[in-house]
């Protein structure tokens, strides 16, 4: 694409050099630059991209986009000076990749919990309506069924626009995307046109990055502040900050709730480990999901689908066929009659949340056995707390390994056990081998009991000393269930 066409997306302070160049690619990382690329220098949290301009040129960049011009300029290079390169990079990338959001409808989901669940369910639902659809999510990105692995919840602006560009080229009509708070602050979504935004909830998280809850909230709110007037902003009226999110948006606000009057009102009529019976806007629907928080997620999905123009009765029909997202409160009944739930809960808070939901549904009719470990080379402070929260809400806890990485598995287990007093220790056994730990839980379980296998969710590996060997909690359970038949 010609440089002069890409530059229409931004307002340069000055351009030095040839604007008629053909740009072959664009990147903000000098290490990824190839011949004929545009390199955009961005100030980051660790270093300043401006330091890598010489490296980018060495790798073949012919256009340098920056805030400060280098003192020594090369004659064969075009320099573009801009006031805010972090904001510009998304706009330049989206133009370079053919303005994908002018060709498909992009819907963003933000909030502390539930983003992956809601975005994935919308992706599955709209595919089953017969559309080609894209998904940008923590677990994996998809271009209508084609899996593209990811390392982020919301990728960097180059990767993101390249992905959306491919979705548009391959005829996707919709794309559903998780919008992390990091991505809003770092303007990874700059230049994208959303037709809708969904808010789930906000609780304390990521304060290592945002420093205060207030900043975290502001980051999420900025996404809604930036939505255009034609878009919808669907918010959770049950969250204390649900209406705060949308108070300054230009978009059309709609609300969902399990408790108050709103546009999309739901109620849990019945719940069990097989699913729930919900009332949504005075229509009953059976769903294959467990727990009040999932009722809330399903309301968001229902609301968004209706706002995208689908008929409520068609949406309800699809809702009843949807299955939980891999590793998110993913329940299976064993031939012996107990239930096993695989969940990605890997923080004290998440364990509280999941275990309380289990008790809400169990209502004292069985015991709860939790299998849990903590990751190596990660926050050590959470280890004793994870053990405490698990023991408080379980009849038996089996402490085991979860990606020990470069630490000794037994040391991590000991850190967890250090959080427990003598009485609590009576409920606990520790088994280093995760497969054995799950097997033991299954042996101990009686019909009606619930086993929570926490921490790994969708992960399909165990990371030991830098080697990722295949390991899948759900596969292990399937194998055990086969033996029970
Ligand atoms: C803290 C954080 O979010 N950092 C992100 C940020 O990097 P940064 O600001 O630290 O960049 P930097 O290392 O200071 O470098 C500055 C610039 O110099 C460039 N550079 C650097 C070195 C070099 O040799 N050449 C070069 O050009 C870099 O490409 C960058 O453009 O911008 C990068 C490009 O977009 C991201 O990849 C990077 O994500 C890091 C790896 C990360 O771990 N982020 C996590 C915290 C994150 O974003 N998480 C959220 C939420 C997850 C959740 O849902 O819980 C997510 O959306 O994934
Ligand atoms: N609406 C909700 N409210 C509270 N907890 C939830 C909700 N939805 C899901 N959860 C819990 O949070 C966990 C993560 O869910 P999910 O992956 O959908 O969230 P996310 O917002 O994408 O998280 P991440 O920030 O890690 O990408 C689940 O395993 C589940 O236990
Ligand atoms: N992606 C997060 C969660 C990992 C969950 C758990 N399985 C672990 O390995 O700690 C991390 O790397 O901290
Ligand atoms: Mg996610």
Write down the pTM of the prediction: 0.91
Close Cβ partners of 45 (under 8 Å, ≥ 6 residues apart) = none
Ligand nearest the Cα of residue 159 is: 1
Q: Is the CB of 182 under 6 A from ligand 1?
A: yes
φ and ψ at residue 38, rounded to 5 degrees: -95, 125
Q: Which fold has domain 3-96?
A: 3.40.1390
Going by the annotation, the residues of the binding site are 30, 111-117, 153-154, 180, 186, 188, 378, 402-405, 455, 459
Neighbours of 170 (CB within 10 A): 13
Q: Is the CB of 329 under 6 A from ligand 2?
A: yes
Close Cβ partners of 408 (under 8 Å, ≥ 6 residues apart) = none
Neighbours of 387 (CB within 10 A): 29
Ligand 2 atom closest to Cα of 180?
A: 25
Ligand nearest the Cα of residue 405 is: 3
Cross-strand partners of 265: 257
Distance CA 394, CA 372 (A): 11
Residue ranges with strand state E in 89-150 = 105-110, 133-136, 141-143, 146-148
Q: Which fold has domain 100-321?
A: 3.40.1190
ipTM: 0.94
* Residue in 419, 410, 404, 421 with CA at minimum distance from that of residue 469: 404
Distance CA 94, CA 96 (A): 5
User: What lines the ligand 3 site, CB under 6 Å?
Assistant: 346, 375, 378, 402-403, 455-456, 459
Q: What are the tens digits of pLDDT across the range 271-298? A: 998 899 999 999 999 999 998 899 999 9
What is the layout of strands, in order, in the sheet containing 14-16? Answer: 14-16, 78-81, 63-66, 37-40, 25-27
Residue owning the nearest CA to atom 10 of ligand 3: 375
Q: What are the tens digits of pLDDT across the range 203-252? A: 767 777 888 889 999 999 999 999 999 999 999 999 999 999 999 999 99
Distance CA 213, CA 205 (A): 8
Distance CA 380, CA 365 (A): 35
Residue owning the nearest CA to atom 48 of ligand 1: 182
SS3 414: helix
Distance CA 484, CA 14 (A): 72
Tell me: domain 330-484, CATH 3.90.190.20, correct? Answer: yes
* Residue in 247, 246, 298, 295 with CA at minimum distance from that of residue 267: 295
* Residue in 427, 379, 368 with CA at minimum distance from that of residue 402: 379
Q: Is the CB of 161 under 6 A from ligand 1?
A: no
Cross-strand partners of 196: 107, 232
Residues of the chain with pLDDT under 70: 204
Distance CA 1, CA 18 (A): 14
In terms of DSSP H, where are the helices of 213-333?
213-225, 242-246, 292-307, 312-319
Ligand 2 atom closest to Cα of 344?
A: 29
CA geometry: angle 230, 232, 234, nearest 5 deg: 170
Find out whether 237 and 260 touch, Cβ atoms under 8 Å.
yes
Q: Is the CB of 85 under 6 A from ligand 1?
A: no
CA geometry: angle 91, 68, 5, nearest 5 deg: 30
The predicted structure's pLDDT at residue 204? 67
Delimit the domains of the chain by residue range: 3-96, 100-321, 330-484
Cα–Cα distances in Å, from 318 out to 110, 127, 262, 292, 312? Answer: 23, 11, 22, 19, 10
Residue from 47, 90, 179, 211 to probe ligand 1 pocket by mutation (most atoms less than 8 Å from CB): 47
Close Cβ partners of 133 (under 8 Å, ≥ 6 residues apart) = 123, 126, 127, 142, 144, 172, 173, 174, 175, 176
* Torsion of the alpha carbons at 138, 141, 142 and 148, rounded to the nearest 10: -140
Residue from 44, 210, 350 to probe ligand 1 pocket by mutation (most atoms less than 8 Å from CB): 44
């Amino acid at each position: 694409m010609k440089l002069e066409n890409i530059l229409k997306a931004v307002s340069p302070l000055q351009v030095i050099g040839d604007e008629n160049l053909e740009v072959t690619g664009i990147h903000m990382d000098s290490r990824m630059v190839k011949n004929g690329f545009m390199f955009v220098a961005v100030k980051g949290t660790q270093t300043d991209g401006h330091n890598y301009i010489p490296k980018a040129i060495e790798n073949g960049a012919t256009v340098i986009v920056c805030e400060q011009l280098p003192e020594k300029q090369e004659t064969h290079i075009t320099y573009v000076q801009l006031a805010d390169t972090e904001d510009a990079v998304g706009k330049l990338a989206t133009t370079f990749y053919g303005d994908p959001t002018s060709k498909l409808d992009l819907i963003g989901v933000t909030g502390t919990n539930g983003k992956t669940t809601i975005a994935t369910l919308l992706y599955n639902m709209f595919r089953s309506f017969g559309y080609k659809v894209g998904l940008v999510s923590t677990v994996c990105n998809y271009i209508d069924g084609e899996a593209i692995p990811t390392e982020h919840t919301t990728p960097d602006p180059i990767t993101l626009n390249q992905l959306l560009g491919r979705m548009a080229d391959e005829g996707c009509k919709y794309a559903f995307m998780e919008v992390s708070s990091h991505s809003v602050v770092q303007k990874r979504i700059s230049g994208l046109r959303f037709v809708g935004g969904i808010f789930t909830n906000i609780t304390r998280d990521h304060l290592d990055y945002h420093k205060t809850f207030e900043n975290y909230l502001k980051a999420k709110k900025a996404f809604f502040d930036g939505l255009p007037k034609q878009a919808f902003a669907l918010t959770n009226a049950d969250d204390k900050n649900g209406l705060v999110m949308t108070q300054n948006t230009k978009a059309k606000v709609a609300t969902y709730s399990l408790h108050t009057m709103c546009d999309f009102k739901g109620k849990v009529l019945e719940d069990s480990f097989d699913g729930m019976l919900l009332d949504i806007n005075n229509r009953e629907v059976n769903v294959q999901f467990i727990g009040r928080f999932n009722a809330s997620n399903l309301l968001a999905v229902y609301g968004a689908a209706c706002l995208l123009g689908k008929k409520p009765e068609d949406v309800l029909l699809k809702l009843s066929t949807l299955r939980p997202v891999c590793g998110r409160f993913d329940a299976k009944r064993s031939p012996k009659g107990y239930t096993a739930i695989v969940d990605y809960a890997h923080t004290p808070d998440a364990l509280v949340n999941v275990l309380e939901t289990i008790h809400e549904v169990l209502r004292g009719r069985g015991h709860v056995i939790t299998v849990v470990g903590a990751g190596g080379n990660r926050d050590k402070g959470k280890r004793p707390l994870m053990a405490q929260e698990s023991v408080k809400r379980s009849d038996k806890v089996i402490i085991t390994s979860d990606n020990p990485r470069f630490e000794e598995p037994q040391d991590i287990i000991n850190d967890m056990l250090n959080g427990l007093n003598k009485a609590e220790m009576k409920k606990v056994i520790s088994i280093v081998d995760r497969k054995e730990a799950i097997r033991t839980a299954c042996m101990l379980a009686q019909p009606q009991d619930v086993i929570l296998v926490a921490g790994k969710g969708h992960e399909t590996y165990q990371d030991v000393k830098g080697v990722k060997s295949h390991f899948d909690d759900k596969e292990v359970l399937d194998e055990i269930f086969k033996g029970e038949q």
